[in-house]
Amino acid sequence: MPPAGVWKGELKVPGSSLAIHVSLDRAEEGVWSGAIDIPAQGLRGFALAEVEVSGSAVGFILQGIPGTPTFEGVYEEEEQCISGDFYQGGQQLNFELYFLKDDNAADTHVSEKGIQGEGAVGEWFGELAVGPSSLRLALHIFPDGGDSFTGTMDSLDQGANGLKMDSITFDDGKLTYRIDRIGGSFEGILNEDGSRLEGVWMQGGQEMPLSYRRIAEPLVQKRTQDLSGPFPYEQRAVTFRNELDGLSFAGTFVVPEGRGPFSTVLFISGSGPQDRDESLMGHKPFAVIADRLARRGVASLRFDDRGVGGSEGSVMDSETTSFANDAIAAIRFLEKQEEVDLDALGLIGHSEGGLVGPMVAVQDEQLDFLVLLAPPGEPLDELILRQSADGLRLKGVDETLVQRIVRDTRGDIELIKDLSLSRDDLVAGLRTRSEEIRENYDERVLEELGFTDAAFENSLKSVSTKWFRSLMQIDPSEYLDRVTIPTLALFGERDVQVAAGVNADILRASFEKAGNRAAMVHVLPRLNHLFQNCDTGSIEEYGRIEETFDEATLQLIGDWILNRGM
């Protein structure tokens, strides 16, 4: 039986793997064709070239991608498996595929068909290629009387939904819309049967091809752990003040049913301006954790970061050490709440929040325990370089190119760390370096990797801030080496933002140095930076995964908080 159908498997890259789907189809005249999905690289429905099936040998290439990725495998009919070697740019890796179903060119996950229709009104779905990745976009277009329309766009993988169109027209089969909030616009032509809009997305001086297909119903991102009341606990809207920095904060204080006082946790979010739920790509991980803990009798406080929601200030104009002051102000608030057990008051910090937690622990004796989720252990400048390299490897970039990019990025970071430079001087220096470095790279390769002018300008805004420059100065060991309270540190095995192996080892060494026998460090299998079960750990997966936070890890956190020291 020939290997026609849909196949699922993985491409084994150093230290990880890439999930892949392949569909193979044979026409009546015996000619083979197919398509491939590599979600971590933003490839979906990418047409295979030179598909050859001869006896047990199966091969195909990805034409037009740097290094011309080539698959050469063997089909084992009894095992329903295709396995072999993958080649790209001098690199050789292994791959394995297992049979899912008979395809026969029917609609599958790689199908690009839209339903037929008339006009622009309706629901549309498209994917915008951004470097080696892609963003899923949904359009909602409504009639507004006569020849007028209204509409919104959702950027599903960025969690940016309901972006209002400031202008929208549809005339003689041509749709145009503009969204001023993000500086983006689209122009596209409706095809003959009304199933597709073929056009161009324009943003930040860049033009990118974008095709929408008409869908029958609004696309809804399923979140299996979405919360809906009524809840078996009380949620209070509260405010507290950081008197040291003169800022007020807004948050949610969750009080379980029953008689207190209760074990209580304070949540500290990861990098960048975050709301109290640490909302990201449609997920609300802090809300989910707080819910599970409240149902087990643990109270909690989560609050909006500086400049977010009801909180004052600005994250980007602050130093990481200032966030420890915010947390200490929150602890002072909790001390005054009669429902809080002052002998069981802890902190849950995620990512950068896992750095802030130890900062607080060495300053405030009121804190009784820490739960650190994907906490950095290595110096932050080194962590950023590792993060960049691991992300590139996950996208299949040749190791020689990875090391070259890391070397050039290291030079940028050394400039960023030089606090004698004003922000204007730093920006000017980074621009000069960028111009000099880019002359040594093929522009087509840079665009395919997402290193565009627009991406550089966006990055420049972030790396030149007070927050980022201060972050690059920090070695977490300075604080971890002095943490003596009970601590549970958890890492996701497939985390590509805070590498589990190296950072877990550093935390173990720090706790040993501190003589902290009440510290536990665990690396949890198959989990990413958000503690979702995942295929690769890539950032592009976060919004596509329905699960917000692994249930077994939620149980582990609750068990540890309630039983610590026993």
Helix, strand, coil shares, percent, the chain, to 5: 25, 35, 40
Residue 517 CB neighbours (<10 A): 10
Half-sphere exposure of 406 (CA within 13 A, CB side): 20
Give per-residue pLDDT as tens, 497-515: 999 999 999 999 999 999 9
Q: Cα 97 to the chain's mean position, in Å? A: 26
Q: Write the pLDDT tens digit of every residue in 430-488.
A: 999 999 998 888 887 887 777 878 788 889 999 999 999 999 999 999 999 999 999 99
pLDDT at res. 65: 75
The C-alpha atoms of residue 519 and residue 485 are separated, in whole angstroms, by 8
pLDDT tens string 17-31 = 677 888 888 876 778
Query: Is the pLDDT confidence value at 134 over 80?
Result: no
Q: Which among 207-221, 345-359, 457-471 has the top mean pLDDT? A: 345-359
pLDDT over 80 at 131, yes or no: no
Residue 13 in this model has a pLDDT that exceeds 80 = no
Q: Which pLDDT score, from 0 to 100, does residue 108 have?
A: 32
Rounded to the nearest integer, the mean pLDDT of the chain is 89
In this prediction, residue 103 has a pLDDT band, given cuts at 50, 70 and 90, of: very low
Tell me: cis bond preceding 261? Omega within 30 of 0 counts: yes
Q: Report pLDDT digits (tens) over 389-443.
A: 998 888 888 899 999 999 999 999 999 999 999 999 999 999 999 999 988 888 8
Share of residues in the chain with pLDDT > 90 (%): 64
Q: Where are the alpha helices (DSSP H) in 313-472?
A: 320-335, 353-361, 380-394, 399-417, 423-438, 443-448, 453-463, 466-471
E strand or H helix at 137, and its extent? strand 133-143
Q: Which pTM does this prediction carry?
A: 0.76
Rounded mean pLDDT, 89-111: 62
Residue 57 pLDDT greater than 60, yes or no = yes
Q: Which amino acid is at 158?
A: Q
Write down the pLDDT at residue 377: 98
Q: What is the spatial distance between Cα 109 and Cα 43, in angstroms, rounded to a whole number?
A: 12
> Cα torsion for 140, 141, 145, 147, to the nearest 10°?
170
Residue 133 is predicted with a pLDDT of 65
pLDDT at residue 201 is higher than 60: yes
* CB proximity list for 60: less than 8 A, separation 6 or greater: 34, 48, 49, 50, 51, 52, 70, 71
- Give 59's pLDDT tier (boundaries 50, 70, 90): very high
pLDDT of residue 106: 33
Say yes or no to pLDDT of 358 above 70: yes
Question: 536-563, pLDDT tens digit by residue?
Answer: 898 888 988 999 999 999 999 999 999 9
Q: What is the reported pLDDT for 1?
A: 64
